Amino acid sequence: MSIQFKGYLKDTKQLKKSKVDGLNQLEVKWIDYFLAFIIILFPLLRSIKLLVSKYNAQLSDVILADIAGFIIIIILMVIHEYLHAMTFSKNEEINIWIHGFGMITHCTQRKNIKSYIFTFLFPNLVIALPLSIFVSINFILEPLILKTIGLISSIILLGTISDISYIICIVRNGKNISYLQFSGENLYFRKK
């Protein structure tokens, strides 16, 4: 498997393209994003509640907790993208890019519906789901630890919206799809 970290994505033209003759572009619609947002809404609200609750701590402690949270977020983002990358074939070129405030994994491998759903779902099952469960349960921990967990889970959950939206779009269009393939910044599919 050739996983390469490519650095900052300045232009989507840097993304590898594949032949898309006869393929249709998969369009993620507003309803897909809306449903994804509804799915994460409860744990997101719980995360934000932890993040903004009042804490009786010195400002320096709060700043250190936030710095620790951002370091953990960066580590989890890298792990998240490597988990995406691990779902592709060992024979494919897989690139990981920094894009905006997040990261993306890009590979032009053709995959069936179940494989692509697994690609989008896998890192979210490993990282976002446990965080969602954790923030949904009332634990008695040090308030600054809970604030840090609230920061981490808020950002990680917001980052899952894209993956969940793709899953919803693929499921919504599933009966028409033979296989899916990325080319450039777009996901394409072959009709059955």
**Averaged pLDDT for residues 164-170:** 97
Q: What is the pTM of this model?
A: 0.91
At residue 1, the pLDDT reads 62
Task: For residue 67, give Cα distances in angstroms to 29, 128, 154.
Answer: 35, 20, 15
Find the mean pLDDT for residues 165-177: 94
Query: DSSP string covering 40-68, please?
Result: HHHHHHHHHHHHHS---S-HHHHHHHHHH
pLDDT at position 81 is 97
Check residues 73 and 142 and name the one with the higher pLDDT.
73
- Write the pLDDT tens digit of every residue in 92-136: 999 999 999 899 999 999 999 999 999 999 999 999 999 999 998
Q: What does the mean pLDDT of the chain come to?
A: 93
Query: Could you give the CA distance from residue 78 to residue 119 in angstroms, rounded to a whole number?
Result: 15
pLDDT in tens, 47-91: 999 988 877 778 888 899 999 999 999 999 999 999 999 999 989
Q: pLDDT exceeding 90 applies to what percent of the chain?
A: 81
Which residue type sits at 174?
A: G
Share of the chain above pLDDT 70, in %: 99
Q: Given pLDDT bands bounded at 50, 70 and 90, which one contains residue 143?
A: confident
Of residues 83, 64, 66, 30, the one with CA closest to residue 154: 66
Residue 2 binned pLDDT confidence (cut-offs 50, 70, 90): confident
